[in-house]
């Protein structure tokens, strides 16, 4: 009999966990653990009971059980702090506390939402909104980049308002091109409001329509249409932002809107090149990254003070280092640093520019002090900026504060809960857990990242290191072979070329020793 809770379906017969219509990969022991908790949800399940049910009474370590608990929470979007579904009762055991319905197999798979009860993510303690991809009504598929860029800027403007909780662009755009019920979107993202709309570009004119919806009821709270010339595009975005916020809050503080109404550039031709660059950058291939860099450089030729273009250009070099794509390492690192410092110079009050500039300085240029300062400033300017919280997580790893780093990675995931690049946060959390000595949890996070992106170099490395340190030698050897198939040039001696600015070099030595134990050549 399948079990339905929130919008998950746990099917014992099929041995499947589904979220909406999507199948979620779950390790067999984790599935057994979750199934036993759900089936026995009316009582507290002791550790001995779980060991008997999941491991057939075999002797297993405490860490194995802890790993299963943490992994089950990860796949359900739960955490040890929230304990929304899986509750720990100290010295007694665990209990599944979500509301569960037993439904027929066909009904469970066809109608997961109707069987659901409650929200996947709790609503934040302040107004929350997700800006969905707007429909491109221009009649020209080549204008898709423009529509996406305008929506991204509206999202950024809203995110600068301190009393709003704004879902990151990557999670909202995970729904692009999909026919998903608005109520499901609200549940998936844990928001009180959803903004939808359309964009039509014709000649030098643009028309944007928007509708603000309460996803819990489907009621339209506000709708409007905005027309302008391309030269007045930023004013149009400001008008829409003000109207949306005005619909959410009767009393709008002018100072907050003034902060949100910041033009990225005065040159529309530079802005168009920037949007094209962003469209290429989001594709994440080597060729598209090179294309994006060229477009950002062209934008900077038109506007030499365009902070976001400098920041995204610097990110191209960061990606090259991360992926091992640098051909002339010293020159490319130097150029990435130059671009990052220009972004910080011209974007002193731009959270996006500061966040990406700071990460480039800390990771690519190995300047942890300046990098940390800019990332911290970005978080202070825009508490909704998911990349800034992600970068802050890495800064804390490199500063030797892994437990604090975990909090930052978790917050980044809450701001972008269905991010197609979720594996970045999982990979970062795995590093933090490795240096915190929580090896089984580090392995689980690394494996979760690899389920999202099987060839992710960093996740493979930390999985190997964690397995070796945990004494899981056969798994480490197997994972190392997989790593070397993707990165055959990796050696202990060149590992540091892929790492950020660790303040304590002992951390790097620990990392190197763990990979050496697994069999990585010198």
Residue 8 within a domain: yes
In a domain, 73, yes or no: yes
Q: How many domains does the chain have?
A: 4
Question: What is the per-residue pLDDT across 329-356, written as a single tens digit (0 to 9) for each?
Answer: 889 999 999 999 999 999 888 888 999 9
- Model confidence over 1-53: pLDDT tens digits? 688 887 678 888 778 887 755 667 777 888 889 999 999 998 999 988 888 88
Whether residues 246 and 279 share a domain: the answer is no
Q: Is residue 429 part of a domain?
A: yes
What are the tens digits of pLDDT across the range 161-178? 777 888 988 888 888 888
What is the mean pLDDT of the segment spanning 92-102?
85
490 and 479 in a common domain:
yes
| Digit-coded pLDDT (tens) for 496-513 | 888 888 888 889 999 999
- Considering the domain architecture, whether residues 37 and 96 belong to the same structural domain is answered as yes
Quick one: DSSP state of residue 488?
Answer: T
Mean pLDDT of 112-120: 36
What is d(CA 348, CA 362) in angstroms, rounded to the nearest whole number? 18
Please say if the pLDDT value at position 302 is more than 80: yes
Residue 437 domain flag:
yes
Tokens encoding 321? 């280092």
Name every residue whose Cβ is closer than 8 Å to that of residue 268 and which is 6 or more positions away in sequence. 230, 231, 233
pLDDT band at 256 (very low <50, low <70, confident <90, very high): very low
Q: Is 392 contained in some domain?
A: no
For residues 492 and 520, state if they share a domain.
Answer: yes
pLDDT of residue 258 exceeding 60: no
The domain spanning residue 323 has which CATH number? Answer: 1.25.40.10
pLDDT confidence of 263, banded at 50, 70, 90? low
Structure tokens at 236: 């149009």
The CA distances from residue 235 to 73, 247, 370, in Å, are: 44, 18, 34
Tokens at 483, concatenated: 């790593």
pLDDT of residue 252: 34
- Residue for token digits 């070796």? 468
Chain-centroid distance, C-alpha 342: 26
Q: Does residue 228 sit in the same domain as residue 315? A: no
What is the predicted pLDDT for the residue at 45?
Answer: 92
Estimate to the nearest angstrom the gap between the alpha carbon of 116 and the chain centroid: 25
Higher pLDDT, 160 or 96: 96
Across the range 352-361, mean pLDDT stands at 93
Q: What pLDDT, on the 0 to 100 scale, is given for residue 244?
A: 67
Closest to 453 measured CA to CA, from 325, 363, 323: 323
Element (H, E) at 433: helix 422-435
* Domain assignment of residue 345, yes or no: yes
Same domain membership, residue 175 and residue 141: yes
Say if CB 338 and CB 365 are below 8 A apart.
no
pLDDT per position as a tens digit, 441-487: 999 889 988 888 888 888 999 999 999 999 998 999 988 998 888 88
Tokens for 522? 């010198």
Q: Is residue 119 part of a domain?
A: no
H-run or E-run covering 302 = helix 286-302
- Within this chain, do residues 234 and 281 fall inside the same structural domain, yes or no? no
Gap between the Cα atoms of 114 and 7, Å rounded: 8
pLDDT band of 262, cuts 50, 70, 90:
low
First to last CA, the chain: 53
Contact 337, 381 (CB under 8 A): no
Q: How many CB atoms lie within 10 A of CB 359?
A: 28
How far is 144 from 173, CA to CA, in rounded Å? 13
Domain boundary, last residue among 241, 262, 283: 262
- Beta partners for 93? 89
| Domain C-terminal end among 262, 278, 293 | 262
Among 126-135, 265-274, 428-437, the range of highest mean pLDDT: 428-437
Of 110, 141, 164, which one is at a domain's C-terminal end? Answer: 110
Residue 98: both structure tokens together: 């979500």
Residues 321, 408 within the same domain: no
> What backbone phi and psi angles, to 5 degrees, belong to 395?
-55, -45
Q: Are residues 333 and 402 in the same domain?
A: no
Identify the pLDDT of residue 341.
94
213 assigned to some structural domain: yes
Considering the domain architecture, whether residues 13 and 89 belong to the same structural domain is answered as yes
Mean pLDDT rounded to a whole number for the chain? 83
169: containing domain: 128-262
Which tens digits make up the pLDDT trace of 211-237?
Answer: 888 888 788 877 888 888 888 777 777
> Would the pTM count as exceeding 0.75?
no
Do 166 and 237 fall within a single domain?
yes
Q: Are 134 and 251 in a shared domain?
A: yes
pLDDT digits (tens, 9 = 90+) for 48-74: 888 888 887 777 777 778 888 888 888
**Is pLDDT of 108 > 60?**
no
Band (251; pLDDT cuts 50, 70, 90): very low
């Amino acid at each position: 009999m399948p079990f339905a809770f929130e919008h998950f379906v746990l099917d014992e017969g099929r041995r499947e966990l589904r979220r909406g219509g999507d199948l979620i990969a779950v390790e067999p022991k984790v599935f057994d653990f979750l199934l036993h908790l759900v089936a026995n949800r009316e009582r507290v399940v002791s550790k001995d009971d779980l060991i008997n049910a999941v491991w057939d009474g075999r002797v297993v370590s405490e860490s194995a059980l802890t790993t299963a608990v943490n992994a089950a929470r990860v796949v359900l979007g739960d955490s040890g702090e929230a304990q929304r579904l899986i509750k720990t009762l100290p010295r007694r055991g665990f209990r599944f506390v979500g509301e569960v319905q037993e439904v027929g197999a066909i009904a469970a798979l066809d109608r997961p939402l109707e069987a659901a009860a409650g929200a996947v993510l709790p609503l934040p303690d302040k107004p929350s909104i997700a800006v969905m991809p707007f429909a491109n009504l221009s009649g020209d598929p080549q204008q898709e980049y423009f529509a996406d860029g305008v929506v991204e800027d509206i999202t950024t403007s809203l995110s600068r308002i301190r009393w709003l909780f704004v879902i990151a662009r990557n999670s909202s755009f995970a729904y692009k091109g999909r026919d998903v019920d608005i109520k499901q979107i609200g549940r998936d993202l844990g928001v009180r409001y959803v903004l939808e709309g359309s964009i039509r570009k014709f000649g030098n004119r643009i028309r944007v329509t928007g509708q603000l919806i309460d996803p819990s009821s489907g009621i339209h709270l506000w709708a409007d249409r905005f027309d302008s010339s391309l030269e007045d595009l930023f004013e149009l975005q400001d008008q829409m932002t003000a109207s949306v916020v005005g619909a959410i809050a009767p009393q709008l503080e002018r100072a907050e809107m003034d902060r949100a109404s910041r033009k990225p550039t005065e040159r529309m031709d530079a802005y168009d090149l920037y949007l094209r660059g962003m469209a290429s950058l989001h594709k994440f291939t080597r060729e598209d990254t090179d294309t994006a860099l060229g477009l950002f450089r062209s934008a900077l030729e038109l506007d030499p003070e365009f902070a976001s273009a400098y920041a995204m250009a610097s990110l191209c070099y960061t990606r090259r280092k991360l992926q091992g794509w640098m051909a002339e390492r010293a020159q490319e690192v130097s150029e990435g640093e130059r671009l990052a410092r220009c972004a910080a110079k011209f974007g002193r009050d731009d959270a996006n520019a500061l966040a990406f500039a700071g990460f480039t300085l800390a990771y690519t240029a190995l300047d942890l002090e300046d990098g940390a300062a800019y990332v911290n400033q970005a978080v202070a300017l825009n508490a909704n900026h998911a990349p800034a919280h992600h970068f802050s997580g890495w800064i804390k790893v490199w500063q030797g504060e892994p437990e604090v780093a975990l909090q930052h990675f978790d917050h980044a995931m809450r701001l972008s809960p269905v991010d197609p690049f979720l594996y970045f946060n999982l990979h970062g959390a795995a590093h933090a857990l490795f240096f915190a000595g929580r090896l089984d949890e580090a392995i689980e996070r690394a494996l979760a990242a690899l389920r999202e992106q099987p060839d992710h170099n960093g996740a493979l490395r930390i999985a190997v290191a964690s397995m070796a340190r945990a004494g899981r030698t056969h798994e480490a050897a197997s994972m190392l072979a997989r790593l070397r198939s993707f990165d055959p040039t990796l050696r202990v001696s060149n590992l540091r070329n892929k790492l950020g600015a660790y303040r304590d070099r002992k951390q790097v030595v620990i990392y190197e020793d763990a990979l050496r134990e697994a069999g990585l050549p010198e």
